[in-house]
Amino acid sequence: MLTVVKLGGRAVEEPSALKELALRVAELPGRSVVVHGGGAEITAWQERLGLGVVKHNGLRVTTLEGLKLTAMVLSGWVNKRVVGALLEAGLDAIGVSGEDGGLLTAERKDGGALGEVGTVRSVRAELLERLLALGLTPVLSPLSRGPEGMPLNVNADEAAVAVARALGAGRLFLISDVPGLLVNGRALAQLTPEEGWRLIETGVAVEGMRVKLGGAIQAAEQGIEVRIGDATVLSDPGAGTRLALVPGVGGVV
């Protein structure tokens, strides 16, 4: 069973939280591919450097300056901190960005309306398979190979969904700083794709969660078990919000 684990930016920011996450990833049965975000860290640096922070429907509008910063923060600092924590936890982790080996290629999203933001066009699944076959745990920064040798900024949830679908993963765990999909302050146990779209349309799932839920639905529709939540999702099969293709317990309002 292959598990794709996406670690959100705020979830990996605090060293002790990252250590805890890494230990839980190391205990997962079967093989794992890790994808990470880093939105909070990028925002902090944008503000520190006096660059504006503009988001549109949960996606970061990215200038060329912002792209450089994103590449430095995500493929540099954050990627290596996740790799470091996983190595400490006993996994043979290797850090790569979507750019490396052309693992992820992307084209400008919405014809460039968001600047240097990409949508994944292809995943070089066989290269990831080869890394896995060597016993390595790939740790992917979502920066992807764009046109003319330049990267594009791809949302980490979108990258994780593309990787999970391309690898035919059995499970996709979207680990964030919330215990699940919150409705009226409470995490839902599960929801169907139809219910998920309704939460997006009605503005219950907004900002980063809007993107996350949209991707989660796509992955679930391909038969992947998807769960959204915090670190407990990695060790407790009942934790977080599960995307289910058929209605069951824990419906939405």
Ligand X SMILES: Nc1ncnc2c1ncn2[C@@H]1O[C@H](COP(=O)(O)OP(=O)(O)OP(=O)(O)O)[C@@H](O)[C@H]1O
Positions touching ligand X (CB under 6 A) are: 8-11, 37-40, 156-157, 176-178, 181-182, 204-209, 212
| Residue nearer to ligand X on the CB measure, 169 or 205 | 205
Least separation in angstroms between residue 38's CB and ligand X is 5
Q: Is 106 exposed, middle or buried (0-12, 13-18, 19+ CB in 10 A)?
A: buried
Residues assigned a catalytic role: 6, 9, 39, 157, 212
The CB-nearest residue to Mg ion is: 208
Nearer to ligand X, 145 or 212 (CB): 212
> With helix as H, strand as E and coil as C, how does 119-147 read?
EEEEECHHHHHHHHHCCCEEEEEEEEECH
**Distances from the Cα of 89 to the Cαs of 139, 147, 155, in angstroms?**
14, 37, 26
**CB nearer to Mg ion: pick between 44 and 125:** 44
d(CA 160, CA 206): 19
For Mg ion, which residue of 179, 208, 215, 240 counts as binding (CB under 5 A)?
Answer: 208
Q: Which does 205 bind (CB under 5 to 8 A by kind): Mg ion, ligand X, none?
A: ligand X
Of 95 and 208, CB closest to ligand X: 208
Q: Does residue 229 touch Mg ion according to CB under 5 A?
A: no
Least separation in angstroms between residue 208's CB and ligand X is 2
Q: Is 85 left (phi over 0), alpha (psi -120 to 50) or beta?
A: alpha
Q: How far is C-alpha 159 from the chain's CA centre?
A: 6
Q: Closest approach of Cβ 78 to Mg ion, in Å?
A: 13
Specify whether the CB–CB gap between 121 and 82 falls below 8 A. no
